Structure 1
Amino acid sequence: MDPVVATQNFAARLAASAPGAESVPLWTLEGLRRADPVLGIALLVIVAVVVGEAVRRFTRLPRACGHMLVGVAASPLFLRLLERTDLDPWKPLLDLAVGVLVFELGTRIRPRWLLDNPLLALQCVAEGLLAGVAVTGVLIMLGVPALSAAFAGAVAMATSPVIVMAAVHDAEPRGQVTERLLMMTAVSGVLAVLALKTWRVIALADAPIATEWVSALVNGVVVLSGSFLLGAAIGLLLTWLSKPMRRTSASAVLQIGLLVLGAFLAAQWALSPLLALLVAGVLARDRMGHSLTVEPHLGTAGAALTVLLFVSIGLLSTVENVTTLWIWVLAIVLARAAGKLVAVVTLARPSGLGTRQSLALALALQPMASSTLLLSATTFGWPADTPQLEAGLLQALWIATTLMQLSGPIWIELALRRAVREAASS
């Protein structure tokens, strides 16, 4: 939205609320509903900060729980203060907020660990693939067309990096389960991105099936290699430019600026912003080591964007038509959980993980990710961006994602703080 147009709209609403105008006071619920969306979201962010701190202090749950609850309260589910379409002008900032957390995730993982422990690498790949296959298979058995079921399976592969990083910021856990959680979150996100890119090529193709698969394979290679090269370039550029300003406040500004550049170029070149920013974080950590200082959320500006992101996740939450779609929703949640549990537990001991730790890890992997969709869609009108889907499946998938994202911090809290005590007790 043009800032001038937004300002004019806001002025018009203020004029409408002047004495004598046919409107209601701004401080009433109806007045808030009619307020400018920019003002409404700004007020929600302020409330979310306060509620998040209260949730953290009295329940020891991550602040993100409070932020998302404020978004849910203002969403069409409850007070209807804002519509989901009101978030479209904010999408570039929301994409940046996701990018900040994905980049930070990249700086926290050690890919060399996968080479030193090949069974861990197999475990990382297996938990994502098995979750996707399980969701796809169960939906097909319930009568969903294979192409639509495969889309749901691709989305179900990923564990939410946004929810995981929020929980890690608040709990500050240390231990093998935490390290594997971060690694598997990164790997499953990459698998989901590649699966969705492949699905889109096949869904839009009109050629014979053999040609479709060749096109999908070529597209996957292009996306993977292009995103890797772009991320490597951003990481190397960060390494070079950071030398004269290490451990200064300008470092976080430089990091955010390069993330904006990377995300923009990835979108322009039809690559994966998530994969590019993840690679940038991994390479920057590998080249700079401990000299790379990455503040949580990349500093105050990133923290503000993260609050906005979690409020938006709450606003986008939906349980509409859950009474008619509940069987699909339940199938997605349970099949995904079973797939990840089987993969993690089966390969636990061979990869050096105990039974209790493997169960905790499977529990922590449950938050589903909407970030793969957030970074690939141009607006929040995803049905237009996902052709040939079975009617109602996208809604069922979004309901399942809503449930697992809103409850995600609780699963991670139970896993890391209660089950394996890798975070300090409250």
Structure 2
Amino acid sequence: MIERLPEWLPIQTSQATVNIILLGVILTASIFADTIARRTRVPRISILMLVGIVIAVIHQVWLGQRDGDLLGGLTEPLIQLALVMVAFLLGSELKVSRLRRTGPLILVVSLFVIVGGGLLVGAGLLALGYPLVVAVSLAAISVATDPAAVSESVKENRKAGLLPKVLLGIVAIDDAWGIVVFGLSMATLGWVIGSEAELALLHALWELGGAVLLGAAIGLPAVWLTGRLRPGEPTQVEAIALILLLAGFSSSMGVSALLASMVAGSLVANLSHHHTRSFREIEHIEWPFLVFFFVLSGASVNLYQATDAIVLTVSYIALRVAGRVLGGYLSTLVAPARGKKLPGSIGLALTPQAGVAIGMALLAAERFPELRDTILPVVVASTIIFELLGPVLVRRVLRS
């Protein structure tokens, strides 16, 4: 169409200019998403993913680009940066002082929900005949919880007592454990299905051990270097530098970016006693990247194969809910004395699922590209459902 315009018009088009325009459109759409979320109480994340799915319809159906990358290679780096930010901030929640305060009760409930829920999802999908990679990947992804949805629901309810404290304590560490479980699962899968067992085992050990080493190599210098400049722009530079280094080196070294970022965040949080500004600066710049992350996650779904995953999606949702309920119920039976006061349905309050789960799905799809159109639509669809129903279930448990 542009070729038919008069020659004197200085109109040019390229992938770079199209990318800039699309990024502007996505951020503009996020403003409307915020407005709709405030007026309807529909989670922003769900709205942003629906925006991404609308973009996928336009891109794949209307324009006929079934396999084309929306941003021409820019999608993956943006998603990677968002995931690294999330993991770094989750690592900052793993303070020794906080873990001591939360005590054994929160640890017991969290581990029962993680182990019980994950095992039920994995075993259930295997029993239904799904491949080992699909079952283990979705079982690991099912561990993740949306801390924002749970925290917001607890605040809205304004209920005091043991239950709200336990829920807030669990979601503070839940995704961090989820990242560890996911990293171990991916490494184990690589070892199990690898053609050369010894080489695959070494690769798995490097992916996990290398991530810890990388996180320490970047996190320990950051403990001393960050926060020593005046507040403001220099501190933002420090935060961005940390994120870029973690994302770049983890990708080039072939280690888990989530685990490396979590290790670095935990080290900075526990050892940098002279400041906390780096975390606040990352929080200030995180949202635009999360907007790109959620929209592009929705836009990455292959609509022509999404219908094939309907049965798997329903199975995953049912098994994840059942696993959360069972794990929560069992935790109240074996928990310390105070845990007897918790409702047996506490697992229902831990059903919301959001960004980290989608990030894990994208990483699993990158590791096993042949299953991308099986895993990704399931997680995106289930996340939308859990984000819509999850807060309702949290409020129901709090009223029990």
Structure 1, unaligned stretches of length 5 or more?
1-12, 21-25, 27-31, 422-426
- What is the aligned-residue identity percentage? 22
Aligned with residue 413 of structure 1, among 387, 391, 394: 391
In structure 2, the partner of 1:159 is 144
Aligned with residue 355 of structure 1, among 334, 343, 362: 343
Q: 1:395 to 1:89 in 2, by over 3 A?
A: same
Deviation at 1:319, TM superposition (A): 5.6
Deviation at 1:230, TM superposition (A): 1.9
CA distance in 1, matches of 2:152, 2:222: 23
Indicate conservation of the 8 Å contact 1:177/1:416, yes or no: no
CA distance in 2, matches of 1:73, 1:125: 38
In structure 1, the partner of 2:243 is 259
1:63-114 superposed Cα distances (whole Å, 9 cap, x missing partner) = 3333222222211378756766224323112211121122122223435555
Amino acid of the residue matched to residue 117 of structure 1? G
Aligned with residue 369 of structure 1, among 357, 365, 385: 357
Aligned with residue 386 of structure 1, among 368, 372, 377: 368
CA distance in 2, matches of 1:259, 1:408: 29
Residue 111 of structure 2 is aligned to residue 121 of structure 1: no
In structure 1, the partner of 2:181 is 191
CA distance in 2, matches of 1:126, 1:356: 13
TM-score by length of 2: 0.79
Residue 68 of structure 2 is aligned to residue 73 of structure 1: no
In structure 2, the partner of 1:245 is 229
Deviation at 1:178, TM superposition (A): 2.3
Deviation at 1:167, TM superposition (A): 7.5
**Which residues of 2 match residues 61-140 of structure 1 at below 5 A?**
61-76=42-57, 80=62, 85-87=69-71, 88-111=73-96, 114=99, 117-118=103-104, 120-140=106-126
Q: Any idea what SS the aligned residue of 2:263 has?
A: helix
Q: 1:365 to 1:53 in 2, by over 3 A?
A: closer
Q: 1:66 to 1:295 in 2, by over 3 A?
A: farther
CA distance in 1, matches of 2:23, 2:291: 11
In structure 2, the partner of 1:178 is 168
Q: Any idea what SS the aligned residue of 1:85 has?
A: coil
Deviation at 1:274, TM superposition (A): 0.1
Residue 376 of structure 2 is aligned to residue 398 of structure 1: yes
CA distance in 1, matches of 2:20, 2:380: 25
Indicate conservation of the 8 Å contact 1:360/1:419, yes or no: yes
1:103-129 superposed Cα distances (whole Å, 9 cap, x missing partner) = 122223435555673454344344333
Amino acid of the residue matched to residue 51 of structure 1? F
CA distance in 1, matches of 2:96, 2:49: 32
1:290-343 superposed Cα distances (whole Å, 9 cap, x missing partner) = 821256672554322221112112212456445544332222221122223211
Deviation at 1:279, TM superposition (A): 1.5
Structure 2, unaligned stretches of length 5 or more?
157-163
Deviation at 1:183, TM superposition (A): 0.8
Larger proportion of helix: 2
Q: 1:258 to 1:35 in 2, by over 3 A?
A: closer
CA distance in 2, matches of 1:412, 1:325: 22
Indicate conservation of the 8 Å contact 1:235/1:283, yes or no: yes
Indicate conservation of the 8 Å contact 1:231/1:262, yes or no: yes
Deviation at 1:60, TM superposition (A): 3.1
In structure 2, the partner of 1:48 is 29
Deviation at 1:286, TM superposition (A): 1.1
